[in-house]
Amino acid sequence: MKANVNLFWILAVFFAIVDVTYIVWGLNDVNHGTIEWAGTTALTLSTLLALFLGFYLNRVHRHQGGELPEDILSSNIDDGDPELGHFAPWSWWPIILAGGGALMMLGLSAGFWISFIAAPLLLVAVIGWTYEYYRGYHAH
């Protein structure tokens, strides 16, 4: 995490330098001689965003109570491998749910009548995925 904090501090300094350079370059332009507000605003907000993220990550790093495995040079890849959750093996419901979601988006963008086909498919896929462990091979 410390590397991420340092990255955002470096990005904030970079954006600030580019912002000042952009303003000076715009003021010295022969044709206009004024500040170009769209680019200046974008670069200023990029600087502020990098500062906010760097500040937030620095506070989190300081209060996490120790070093993360990513920050220790002698750690292995397996040291930072958390338990991500329990996933159903051989489950087809996520694929059906993704297909129903794609049909729903297609219906909302191309033809609303397709949404009437997608809505029951989404409902069945959510119910099937939720109650997958109550029926069949993986019931408990």
Mean pLDDT of 32-60: 92
In the chain, the percentage of residues whose pLDDT exceeds 90 is 54
Give pLDDT tens digits for 82-107: 777 777 778 889 999 999 999 999 99
Asked whether the predicted pLDDT for residue 135 surpasses 80, the reply is no
Residue 82 is predicted with a pLDDT of 75
Give the chain's end-to-end CA distance (angstroms, integer).
40
CA distances to 99, 103, 105 from 114, rounded to whole Å, are 12, 7, 9
Q: What is the mean pLDDT of residues 65-89?
A: 78
